[in-house]
Chain A
Amino acid sequence: MPHVVAAFVCGLLFGGGLAVSDMVNPAKVLNFLDVAGAWDASLVFVMGGAVAVTAIGYRLVFGRDRPVLADSFSLPTARDVDARLLAGAAVFGVGWGLAGLCPGPALAGLTYARPETLIFLAAMAVGLIAGRLAADATQPTAPTQQGV
């Protein structure tokens, strides 16, 4: 099961990044979104740093025929910008703006044992299942996208 250990290590790095950058703090994320008020630009540096490293790293990785521990790369196959994508993103953004939480920081935040985190995650689980059912009903023949 080396690929399971690899996933754990990647999770550690990801969660460490969220904690070090304080993205686990909902107030910090909300202040980033509050451009007309107490704006905190820190999230720009988190995303900028992450995108820069990922863009360069992906370029090197995709020069390979296959990943080290799997038979092939699992990448999204959809290319078209459709209403489902934009509607989903907009709904996600409203939820993000209401609480200052998205899936990564909410899961990483479990460590701090706050009841708010559990409430959010329970609702998020229901939302994920409902969103998948709605997506299946909208495009029953669409290829499934994994990991995105």
Chain B
Amino acid sequence: MTEFTPVAALIGGLLIGLAAVLLMYLNGRVAGISGIAAGLLKWPPAPDWAWRAAFVAGLVAAPFLLAGGGWVRPQLDFPAGTPMLIAAGLLVGFGSAFGSGCTSGHGVCGIARLSKRSLLATVAFMAAGIATVFVVRHVIGPGG
């Protein structure tokens, strides 16, 4: 069980939106995390690796600063065990590279641009996610 937290969710969403707008305004880039991260996984390094690394560093630093200051200390709960985490990571990485985006690139930036591709991709991954959780929790069941 997790508590429904609409206010915190909305504030977080506004911050994410602000980040996406600023990255486009300043650098002309879409704030798609899988794409930004994928650009760091090239050898030899992509010529534009520095801003990608800086974005990821900020992504990690903000929760660190919020926790260190005692402001936001989320309790993380990982229901998936190790084999499922590995499978999930492989699928999330493969799917976002093959489908050209993830929750942020398609779900936030793409929909905000009224991209038909992103809207349909978001519907597809939401549906797949809902179906997967349904099977894991209600068909296979706890401990399955």
Contact = CB atoms under 8 A, between A and B. Distances in A.
Contacts of B52: 7
Contacts, number: 536
Interface residues of B, number: 116
Nearest to A39: B4
Interface string B36-75: 1111010000000011101111111111111100001011
Given A48-B13, A103-B33, A107-B59, A95 B87 contact: yes
B106 to A, nearest CB: 7
B97 A11 contact: no
B94 A14 contact: no
Contacts of B113: 55, 58, 75
A9 B20 CA distance: 11
A27 to B, nearest CB: 4
A97 B32 contact: no
A46 B16 contact: yes
B125 A40 contact: no
| Interface size band for A | 35 or more
A86 B58 contact: no
A95 B107 contact: no
A135 B95 CA distance: 10
B125 to A, nearest CB: 3
Contact of B13 (A24, A41, A47): A47
Given A7-B51, A120-B88, A27 B2 contact: yes
Nearest to A43: B9
Interface of A: 1, 3-28, 30-31, 33-38, 40-55, 57-58, 61, 64, 66-76, 78-81, 84-104, 106-112, 114, 116, 119-132, 134-135, 138, 145-148
Interface of B: 1-6, 8-39, 41, 50-52, 54-67, 72, 74-80, 82, 84-117, 120-122, 124-134, 136-138
23 contacts: A5-B54, A10-B55, A20-B8, A27-B79, A45-B13, A54-B20, A69-B28, A81-B120, A84-B98, A88-B97, A89-B125, A98-B88, A102-B96, A102-B102, A103-B92, A111-B64, A114-B76, A116-B82, A122-B89, A127-B90, A127-B94, A128-B93, A148-B30
Can you list the 6 inter-chain pairs with the closest CB atoms, starting with the nearest?
A88-B99, A127-B93, A11-B58, A21-B12, A49-B13, A53-B17
